[in-house]
Amino acid sequence: MESMTTVWGEVDNQPVYLYTLRSGSLTAVISNFGATVVTLNVPDQTGKVVDVVLGYDTLKQYEQNNRAYFGGTIGRCANRISNSQFTLDGSVYHLTTNEWPNSLHSGLSGFHMRVWETVSFTNENELTLRLESPAMDQGFPGNLEITASFKVTDNGMTITYSGTSDATTIFNPTNHSYFNLNGHKAGSVVDHLLRLQANYYTPVENARSLTTGEICNVLYTPMDFTRPKTIGSEMTPSFRQLLYTDGYDHNFCITKYNGDVTEAAQLTGDQTGIRLTLKTNEPGLHLYTGNYLNDDIGKGGEHYYKYAGVSLQPQFYPDAINHPNYISPILHKGETKAFETQYLFDCVS
């Protein structure tokens, strides 16, 4: 079957498309609205094809339900910035506040709510989208040009974000897909097996999941995924960090980070045997277990409740711009940076 381009609708008088990328038995459907992963079909251990990402059926649902971020590209800066402000080169910049008093994922008009320009759709399995973010968009300095490239292969999908700016700014994009490797209609992911290549994490100060600025060892805590365990096995409110957030909503520090693409996580569906290996060249991985999903009506009319999917978001540490001890998310004037995430699939019995 050939790859397809389908007109999905229109936003602000701009056409919105669905692009179907295929390689072997793996299929991804990407929209230029939000550079969003709408569908990701992967074969399970019996050969049955399973859609492993949460999402919506219609463009209107994505427009109206922008706080779930299903499959969207987050930018300019993923995660939270304290008090919705930061200082860069001696100037203070004020951002949109959408999680008082902080800015989450750069506000409600983030990149996941924009119509991206299609640069190319080639070889039936590669798509590149582009977005121009003008100076002071969302409160950030610099005219930023970002591309999002999607490539599907027989065993996975790679997303590469590349950005350049005419003034020093922050550049910290990520993809916000929620995975349920038993299928998006399968219910809770608490029995998924998870391993993280992370000996440290950044604790949060309260229920708003803003980091304290510390970097803490996972040893002897429920944050320790250095050996595989089910997501829900230690999800206990007796551990204050999980009481704050009613599940995992924390950044983990990738142990072998050196700027090259390295393994960060492995996630395995307990029913299908589908295993996702995530590799990235970013320093952190935010683990979010869908704690605030609340009867969201998803694809096929499916009801997505708490823990219906798990989001593994490669990115810089939360609020890194305000913590000198964290790896810097700064993109300097005229510099180009590229961040790559590989989602690789196989099956285990």
Sequence-distant (6+) residues with CB within 8 A of 185 are 299, 300, 302
- Using one digit for the tens of pLDDT, what is the confidence trace for 73-128? 999 999 999 999 999 999 999 999 999 999 999 998 999 999 999 999 988 899 99
Q: Is the dihedral of CA 215, 222, 275, 126 positive or negative?
A: negative
What's the pLDDT band for 323 if we cut at 50, 70, 90?
very high
pLDDT for 184: 98
Taken in order of first residue, the domains within the chain and their CATH numbers are: 4-347 (2.70.98.10)
The annotation status of 217 as a binding-site residue, yes or no, is: no
The annotation status of 178 as a binding-site residue, yes or no, is: yes
What's the pLDDT band for 4 if we cut at 50, 70, 90?
confident
- Using one digit for the tens of pLDDT, what is the confidence trace for 276-302? 999 999 999 999 999 999 989 999 999
The annotation status of 22 as a binding-site residue, yes or no, is: no
- Residue 222 to residue 235: CA distance in whole angstroms: 7
pLDDT for 122: 87
- Using one digit for the tens of pLDDT, what is the confidence trace for 191-202? 999 999 999 999
The annotation status of 176 as a binding-site residue, yes or no, is: yes
pLDDT for 207: 86
pLDDT for 252: 98
Range 201-223 average pLDDT: 95
Alpha carbon of 168 to those of 38, 85, 144, 286, 336: distances in Å? 32, 16, 10, 25, 11
- Using one digit for the tens of pLDDT, what is the confidence trace for 6-52? 999 999 999 999 999 999 999 999 999 999 999 999 999 999 999 99
The annotation status of 177 as a binding-site residue, yes or no, is: yes
pLDDT exceeds 90 at position 322: yes
pLDDT exceeds 80 at position 3: no
pLDDT exceeds 70 at position 238: yes
- Using one digit for the tens of pLDDT, what is the confidence trace for 126-175? 999 999 999 999 999 999 999 999 999 999 999 999 999 999 999 999 99
- Using one digit for the tens of pLDDT, what is the confidence trace for 245-278? 999 999 999 999 999 999 999 999 999 999 999 9
pLDDT exceeds 60 at position 307: yes
Distance from chain centroid for Cα 87: 25
What is the tally of helices (H) and strands (E) in the chain? 2, 30
Q: Is the dihedral of CA 105, 307, 28, 273 positive or negative?
A: positive
pLDDT exceeds 90 at position 1: no
Q: Strand, helix or coil at 179?
A: strand
pLDDT for 66: 82
Sequence-distant (6+) residues with CB within 8 A of 207 are 244, 245
Range 226-233 average pLDDT: 98
The annotation status of 199 as a binding-site residue, yes or no, is: no
pLDDT for 16: 98
With 0-12 / 13-18 / 19 or more C-beta atoms within 10 angstroms meaning exposed / middle / buried, residue 13 is exposed
Query: Using an 8 Å Cβ cutoff, are 27 and 20 in contact?
Result: yes
